[in-house]
């Protein structure tokens, strides 16, 4: 009974992974407008009925893509206490990951850009930005509380500025990858925020 349940769960996970990979490929190759449940199912080798069963709608599929792309973007942060160290590691790691710019990263940035004009994407990325901002805000607030970040730093506004800079670097990498040396840039950007935030 347990083995059968696990097998069914494994099949479901494999099918969902294949469908998500197919969606990533389509958006990466052809853009968001080319993404339909029928195309994703065809690319993955599954029926449209199956992808509808798993995701329900194109919007639900896009939301899953956005979450998968953002979650765990910077490895090695789990378990670190909030504060200046975690914040600087996130900034450094984020710019470093942009240097690798895999398909999932490109798709996230393409979807994020589309959210500015596509009403069906706007709520999804509002939530994604809100979650990103909340994590940064937590680090800034914790750093002020433990004395590693200057007390005059405004957590809300600073978090907005960090999100804007990191996403802006991502967009530059997407549009003109050769112009952005992420290995040099990550040192510069991390150093800038260390100097701007660290309590003397």
DSSP string covering 131-146: HHHHHHHHHHHHHHHH
What is the value of pTM for the model shown?
0.77
Q: ∠ at Cα 168 (163, 170), nearest 5°?
A: 100
**Contact criterion met (CB below 8 Å) for 39 and 26:** yes
Q: Which two tokens stand for residue 108?
A: 């996230």
Specify the CATH superfamily of domain 2-56: Homeodomain-like (1.10.10.60)
Q: Is pLDDT of 178 > 60?
A: yes
pLDDT tens-place string over residues 114-161: 777 766 778 877 887 888 899 999 999 999 999 999 999 999 999 999
Domain residue ranges in the chain: 2-56, 69-197
- The token duo for 132 is 């990103």
* Burial (CB count within 10 angstroms: exposed 0-12, middle 13-18, buried 19+), residue 198: middle
- pLDDT at site 1: 46
Distance of CA 11 to the CA centre of its chain: 26
Question: Residue 4: what pLDDT?
Answer: 52
Determine which of 16-20, 61-65, 157-161 has the lowest per-residue pLDDT on average. 61-65
Bigger pLDDT: 176 vs 2: 176
Could you tell me which residue, 19 or 127, shows the higher pLDDT? Answer: 19
Residue 40 in tokens: 């994703």
Higher pLDDT, 181 or 35: 181
Top-level class of domain 69-197: mainly alpha
94-121: average pLDDT: 81
| Rounded Cα distance, 8 and 94, in Å | 36
Spatial separation of the C-alpha atoms in residues 49 and 90, rounded to whole Å: 40
């Amino acid at each position: 009974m347990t083995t059968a349940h696990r097998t069914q769960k494994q099949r479901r996970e494999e099918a969902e992974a294949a469908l998500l990979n197919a969606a990533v490929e389509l958006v990466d190759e052809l853009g968001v407008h080319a993404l339909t449940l029928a195309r994703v199912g065809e690319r993955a080798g599954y029926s449209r009925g199956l992808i509808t069963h798993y995701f329900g709608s194109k919007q639900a599929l896009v939301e899953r893509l956005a979450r998968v792309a953002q979650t765990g973007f910077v490895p090695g942060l789990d378990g670190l206490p909030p504060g200046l160290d975690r914040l600087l590691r996130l900034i450094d790691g984020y710019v470093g990951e942009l240097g690798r710019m895999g398909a999932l990263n490109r798709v996230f940035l393409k979807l994020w850009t589309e959210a500015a004009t596509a009403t069906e994407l706007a709520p999804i990325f509002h939530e994604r930005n809100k979650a990103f901002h909340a994590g940064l805000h937590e680090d800034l607030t914790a750093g002020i509380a433990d004395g590693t970040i200057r007390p005059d730093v405004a957590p809300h506004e600073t978090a907005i500025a960090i999100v804007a800079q990191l996403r802006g670097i991502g967009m530059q990498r997407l549009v003109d990858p050769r112009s952005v040396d992420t290995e040099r840039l990550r040192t510069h950007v991390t150093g800038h925020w260390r100097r701007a935030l660290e309590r003397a």
